[in-house]
Structure 1
Amino acid sequence: MNLTETTGEARDRAGLARSDDLAAALLTPEARRDPYPFYARMRRESPVHRSNQGIWYLTRYADIEAALSDLRLSSDRDRMTRAYSALGGDLKAFSRLTDRLGRVMSNTDPPDHARLRKLANRAFTARRVEALRDRIQRIVDRLIDEAVAAGPTMDLIEAVASPLPMSVVCELFGIPPEDLPQVKTWFHRFGRLSEDIDKSEAAIEQYEEYLARLVRRRRADPGDDLISALVATQAQDDRLTDSELLSTCFVLITAGDETTTHLVGNGMLALLRHPDQLARLRADPALVRTAVEELARYDTPTQAIVRVAAEDIAIGGRTLQQGELAYLFLAATNRDPERFEDPDRLDLTRPGNRHLSFGNGPHFCLGGPLAKLQAEVAVGTLVRRLPHLRLADGAVLDWRPNPLQRRLTALPLTY
């Protein structure tokens, strides 16, 4: 859950949800069930589209790939606030939440972004992520054991996909097991920040106080965890202030929560709807790594991210004016026939799968490798251990009403 995701619903109310008929189409029940035909029409008819309110919609792979690396498209929170203010929306929730969260990697531009990213990269290494594989396997096995013991059906989101990233992040950051219930309560609130701004602010404040206590403990008694690594990084480079250290911990801890949950949920649903591909994975478990890449492409948890033009910029033959907002539909790029052969087909062995599900360029998702590792273990274990897994009889699927995110409310399964 990066800052874009954290405050996405508050910003929707200020912009996308009221922009014009194209935005309205995104909010229909049909688009919630399957937004991909809408994206296809946008790519054909208006791939760089300006709404009546001046919001840009980008849906073509080539345009968005370039845009993600173009520093003229800004993530800066102050620019973003001014851009939404120009739309005349109510930004109290957005402004209060961004002020509370502070300046972090996901809402800054260079040079601050590069400095914060470099320092986090030194702590959040590929070696540290891969070292979690065995612990992730134990967590997944425990969650599946508990689900199977509870009965012949389960909600995969509640039973496995949601508790998995929270348990993993507690391991990674050295959060004591006895604190898990309180951390779970905070995570639940962070997934619904815009519903009650006062409760959300209170939860963030409590969580920051908790993290501050953990940081003080790690300074006095460091361990083999990510907070200790960040504390050590700060000691080596005092440009990382205490406030930035806390904000970095906050973002890193929450970054993979919702994304991981719905990568597993969306991915398992796609496999169950494509029994030939499920059988292929079951017959060859070694496919799981490329399978997760394809599942991330096929039904992307983060459908779109938001940028604001820091200066005039030409994209796809159109000119975005300084201060205008751009919605970059990552999910649309992942089904672009100019980039992917037969893009609406699920193919677990798809070659050259350079999807943009985790972004690209300087803001490429730092937690992407951890999210994919968790999905590899979860999907691979579910396929191996539950060979008769299928959608529960009479299951009704519902998606959360946020066009920037692709998230099931539940996934009822039987085995």
Structure 2
Amino acid sequence: MTSTDTLGGTREAAGPARPGDLAAALLTPEARRDPYPFYARMRREDPVHRSPQGIWYLTRYADVEAALGDLRLSNDRDRMTRAYSARGGDLKALSRFTERLGRVMTNTDPPAHARLRKLANKAFTARRVEALRAGVQRSVDRLIDEAVAAGPAMDLLEDFASRLPMSVVCELFGIPDADRPQVKSWFRRFGRLSEDIAKSEAAIDQYEEYLSGLIRQRRHTPGDDLISALVATQSQDGRLTDSELLATCFILITAGDETTTHLIGNGVLALLRHPDQLARLRADPGLIRGAVDELARYDTVTQAVVRVVAEDLRIGGQTLREGELAYLFLGATNRDPERFDHPDRLDLTRTGNRHLSFGHGPHFCLGGPLAKLQAEVAVGTLVRRLPGLRLCDEAALEWRPNPLQRRLTALPLAYRV
């Protein structure tokens, strides 16, 4: 779930794995640094693994691809909350945030999901995303200019990658320049939900109030922005309630922030660790679109998504029972040798790259094309403008503890212009 920070919904310390307990192995410091050898072991030994807590772990591409499109595996947050609660999960940190997310398309099942997704698709079009390219380029150039002016080193995440999606989202939604520092402050607070629930809930309330004001304003004075497009869709269709409209704006603005940040961060790190591929991209900048797909496959930001079994089903010779939780490991599928040749090799010219980094099926990530656009412009421009880009201290890199997400705490880089 969105704010669960360990596998299985319980807060156990990461220590030595018990013999044969493949799930516990994913909580170790070694797996935090590099989970991919652990995934390989799971695929070999028990690709549809049931943990001692009764939670399923799926790691093969074929199984996960099928599971993502199977409606018997539910994404409904009410059902998921009950499943976590039945297993002793700590639900305090979910409270207000889960209540908000429970009314959006990403956390509903058909037919509600299909209705909400169709309406969002009408507003969030490929044409609207592509129209942002020039603005994304301006934002990227400005951020690099500021970094260069500040000195010969920067934290790529803090000084660049985290600032870009905020700028792009604010432009997409028509958020006034004067309001952007406050919006950024709310976003930071959402990311610390488990640290201070009361402050995070207060920030969510303030953010919702702000969004409600923007929606009312766009009803009277529409503009060329996504909120205006959603309002117009609501008026035309009549089936999107006010609360659903608010929730849709909420999730569209919030969802892509961290994913985009760490797609850029993980991608740049992968290139720096593979100087031959970095040199290839520098020699042929036209590779960038395929390169971003390969970077997304190679070190996936969203390592796993969670589903609840709504109806008994068979996967990989195992029976998953109604009410059980299933973790679908996208990071493992993207290194499955049954689907990818030499899966542990970074290859920017890889063809047929049908990775699952942005999901598959009904819940394929709506913001995936926007995240990829930003990564294309960001990574391509960094490679072109900062030829001396290098890691400051490889040994000092730390990964955040949530094994469902692959996110660095910082990425200190040095460079020359």
TM-score greater than 0.5 by the shorter chain: yes
Q: How many residues align?
A: 411
Partner of 2:5: 9
Aligned 1:333-344 pairs, distance under 5 A: 333-344=333-344
Aligned 1:149-298 pairs, distance under 5 A: 149-298=149-298
> How big is the shift at 1:23?
3.1
3-state SS in 2 of match to 1:328: strand
Moved more, 269-278 or 82-91: 82-91
**CA offsets per residue over residues 287-310 of structure 1, 9 Å max, x none?**
000000000000000000000000
**CA offsets per residue over residues 317-348 of structure 1, 9 Å max, x none?**
10100000000000000000000000000000
C-alpha distance 16-350 of structure 1, shift in aligned 2 (>3 A): farther
> How big is the shift at 1:8?
3.1
> How big is the shift at 1:194?
1.7
Moved more, 142-151 or 100-109: 100-109
C-alpha distance 199-250 of structure 1, shift in aligned 2 (>3 A): same
CA RMSD of aligned residues (A): 1.6
Following the alignment from structure 1 to structure 2, what is the Cα–Cα distance between the partners of residues 30 and 10? 15
Contact 2:78 2:102 (C-alpha < 8 Å) held by counterparts: no
Following the alignment from structure 1 to structure 2, what is the Cα–Cα distance between the partners of residues 112 and 195? 32
3-state SS in 2 of match to 1:306: strand
The one-letter code matched in structure 1 to 2:33 is R
3-state SS in 2 of match to 1:66: helix
> How big is the shift at 1:98?
1.2
Aligned 1:99-178 pairs, distance under 5 A: 99-178=99-178
Partner of 2:76: 76
C-alpha distance 259-172 of structure 1, shift in aligned 2 (>3 A): same
Following the alignment from structure 1 to structure 2, what is the Cα–Cα distance between the partners of residues 277 and 325? 39
> How big is the shift at 1:16?
8.6
> How big is the shift at 1:195?
1.6
Aligned 1:40-55 pairs, distance under 5 A: 40-55=40-55
Contact 2:6 2:402 (C-alpha < 8 Å) held by counterparts: no
The one-letter code matched in structure 2 to 1:414 is A
> How big is the shift at 1:83?
0.7
The one-letter code matched in structure 2 to 1:9 is D
Following the alignment from structure 2 to structure 1, what is the Cα–Cα distance between the partners of residues 23 and 80? 19
Partner of 2:89: 89
For structure 2, list consecutive stretches of 5 or more residues without a partner in the other structure: none
Moved more, 10-19 or 332-341: 10-19
Tell me the TM-score normalised to structure 2 length: 0.96
Following the alignment from structure 1 to structure 2, what is the Cα–Cα distance between the partners of residues 127 and 15? 43
3-state SS in 2 of match to 1:382: helix
Partner of 2:300: 300
Following the alignment from structure 1 to structure 2, what is the Cα–Cα distance between the partners of residues 336 and 386? 34
> How big is the shift at 1:368?
0.1
Identity %: 81
Contact 1:81 1:95 (C-alpha < 8 Å) held by counterparts: no
> How big is the shift at 1:27?
1.9
> How big is the shift at 1:239?
0.8
Following the alignment from structure 1 to structure 2, what is the Cα–Cα distance between the partners of residues 394 and 384? 22
> How big is the shift at 1:232?
0.2
Contact 1:31 1:38 (C-alpha < 8 Å) held by counterparts: yes
Contact 1:17 1:23 (C-alpha < 8 Å) held by counterparts: no
Tell me the TM-score normalised to structure 1 length: 0.96
Moved more, 189-198 or 88-97: 88-97
Following the alignment from structure 1 to structure 2, what is the Cα–Cα distance between the partners of residues 194 and 147? 31
> How big is the shift at 1:409?
0.6
